[in-house]
A and B are shown apart, each in its own frame.
Chain A
C-alpha cells in the first residue's frame, strides 16, 4: 500500500507539473461556463431590457391596465402623444411601444400598437394581456349584471382532468430540487472518468518510454496499477474542486436557486458511491487496455471498442428520461458498464427511490469492479512489459486465463 501511494503521489505530481494538464484543469470549467453563459449574453437584449409602454388612455382605465400588466417587465407610462405623432416619437426611444386606447378601440375590439424595431417580437404576444380590462369595458357597455359580466369575462378554459402524476414537469422547481445531487454526482463522475482516461495513456506511455521494467524492479505490478488508479482519481477530484470553485458561484448567482441547500442531502452519498464505483470500473478498463497497447496511435478496433464502453450509458438516456422506472431503465441499471450513468440519471428523475433495485444494481456494480480489477491486474502484469507491440485479443484472453 505504501508503494501504491508513492506511485499515486508521483502521478499526481507529474500531472500537476505538466502545463497541458493545468491548462485543461482550468479550461474545462471555463468552457462549460462559457457555453452556459454565452447564449444568455447574446439574448440579453430580448430577455432583460424593459420595454417602455406608453399608453394614450382616453377612457380612464389606465389603472386597470397597469394592474393587468404587473407580471410583465414593462415600464408603463401615460402619454398624450397622438397616433399620428407615434412613429416620430418612437425614433427617439430605444425599446418602446405606444398603445392607443380610445372609444373606437372598444367598439371594434382592435387596439393600435406602435412598436420600435428593437422591441422584441414577443411583445406583441405579451401585449394581449391588456385585453382583459378592455373586455370588461365592452361587457359593461352591454349592460349585463356584474354576475353575468363575470361569467362572460371568465371565458372557457380546457383543463387537464386526468389524475396529476407525481413527477410534474421535468424541469419544474420541485424536480430541480432533487436533480441537483444527481447533477453534481454526474459532474463528479464525468470529471473523474475523463481525467481517468489519462490512465490509459499513462500505462501505454510507460511501455513506450520503456520505463516499466525499471519501475517494476522496485514494486509489484499491482502496486503500480493501483497507484495509477488512485492517482488519477485524486486528479479527477482536483478537477471537481476546480469546477466547484469556478463554476458553482457563477451558477448560484445565475440560477438564483438554493443549490447548496439541495445539494447536501443524504442521497448525495449514494450517488457519489455510484460515481466512485463507476470510476473504478472504467479505470480498470483503461489501465488494462493501456497496458496492451504500444502506442495510442496503434490502437486496434478491439481497444477502441473497449474505450467506448464508458459512453454506453448515453444509449439509455432517451428511454430513461421517457420512463425512469421502465424496462430499459431497469436493464441499464443492471448492466455494469451502463449502470453508473443510468442509475445517476434515474435517481435524479425519480422522487421515490426504488431502494431494492438500487441495492442490487450497486451490488452488481461492486462485484463487477472487483472482477474487472482482477482481470486488469492480470493483463497489466504481462502487458506492461511487452514493449513495442500491441497485444491481440487472443493474447489478452490467454493472459486472463493464465
Chain B
C-alpha cells in the first residue's frame, strides 16, 4: 500500500514547554489510522503541524508525490477539532466556496454536495442559511465540506465529538466506505470504542510522546492482557502472592488482578489456592478503553507492561 503521509520525528514546543516530541507515524492509502490520546495529549497540535497551520520545530512531514515543502492542500480534506461555519450564508454557498478553495470543479461539487446532503438527511437544506441549522446538522455540513473534493488524504480531528449515536454511525459508515475506496484517513479521537471498531492502526500519545502504536490486532495482542476480577473477602497479601500477577487493585470485596502477558487462563485458574474466597470470578482481556484510561490517569499498568517487554 502506498504511503500517503509520513510524519518523522515531529517536535513542537510553545515557549519552553514541549507539546509534542519525536512523533513518527505514517498513513497509507485505504487505511484508517487512529491518533489517540487524552485531552491535551498533543493530537491536535500534531495535526495542525501536518496541515501547516503550525510549523514544527523538529522533524519532517512528507506527503506522497510531494518532494517540496509545499503541502498539497487540494488533495487533503481536513475537519479541525475547533470547527464552525460562516453564519449568515446558505449551506450550498459555503460548500461550493470551500470546494472552490480546493480547486474542485464547481458543477461536480454541487452534484456531490446534493448527494451527500441527501445521504445525511439534509435534503432540501442546501438553500437554508447556516444559522438555521442545528448543531448536529452543522457538523454534518462541515463533514461534507471536508470530503466534498474527494481528498486523497482525510484528516479528521475528533469527528465524533458532539454527535448523537445515529449520526455517529452515519459518520463511521461513511469514513469506512471512504477508506474502502482508497482514501487514507487519519483520525484523532478519545472515544476508544469507536476507534476499536474502525481503525486499522493506532498511535496512542500521552503528554506529547508515543505510548503505543501498531495495528489494532497487534496492539491488542501485545497490551491487552488478561485481567481477573474476583468478588470475595481476601487479604491483599494473599492476592499479591498469587502466581503471574502484575498488579492488584482492591476495592472492598472486589479485587482486580492484572495478569502477566503470556498467562494461559485455564492453566492459571488451576493454580489458585483453595483458601481463596471466590463469590464471583471473571476473566477477560483489558480493553483499549482501559488502557486509555490507565494512561490518562497515570496509573502504572502500561509502564509495567512496557518494562516487562523492554
Contact = CB atoms under 8 A, between A and B. Distances in A.
A232 B37 CA distance: 42
B101 A215 contact: yes
B215 interface: no
Interface stretch (B17-25, B79-87, B174-182): B79-87
A401 interface: no
Nearest to A213: B80
Contacts of B101: 3, 6, 215, 218-219
A18 B101 CA distance: 21
Contacts of A206: 86
A390 B85 CA distance: 20
A387 B142 CA distance: 18
Interface size class of B (residues with CB under 8 A): 20 to 34
B87 A214 contact: no
A210 B82 contact: yes
B290 interface: no
A214 B80 contact: yes
A213 B53 contact: yes
A254 interface: no
A209 interface: yes
A214 B80 CA distance: 7
B83 A14 contact: no
A213 B82 contact: yes
B187 to A, nearest CB: 16
B143 to A, nearest CB: 11
Contact of A10 (B52, B85, B97): B97
B301 interface: no
A197 B85 CA distance: 22
A218 B93 CA distance: 16
Given A10-B97, A219-B101, A210 B89 contact: no
Contacts of B87: 205, 209
Interface in B63-110: 73-74, 76, 78-80, 82-89, 93, 97-98, 100-102
B257 interface: no
A190 B77 CA distance: 41
A6 B100 contact: yes
B83 A214 contact: yes
Interface string A268-296: 00000000000000000000000000000
A321 interface: no
Contacts of A217: 51, 53, 73, 76, 78, 80
Nearest to A211: B84
B205 interface: no
A387 B82 contact: yes
A213 B157 CA distance: 12
A387 B83 CA distance: 10
B145 interface: yes
A382 to B, nearest CB: 9
Contacts of A216: 51, 53
A211 B82 CA distance: 8
A197 to B, nearest CB: 18
Interface of B: 48, 51-53, 73-74, 76, 78-80, 82-89, 93, 97-98, 100-102, 142, 145-146
5 contacts: A14-B89, A209-B86, A214-B142, A217-B73, A217-B80
Given A13-B93, A214-B145, 10 more contacts: A3-B101, A6-B97, A211-B84, A211-B86, A213-B53, A214-B80, A214-B146, A215-B98, A215-B101, A217-B78
9 closest Cβ pairs, A-B complex: A210-B84, A218-B101, A217-B78, A213-B80, A209-B84, A210-B82, A211-B84, A10-B97, A218-B73
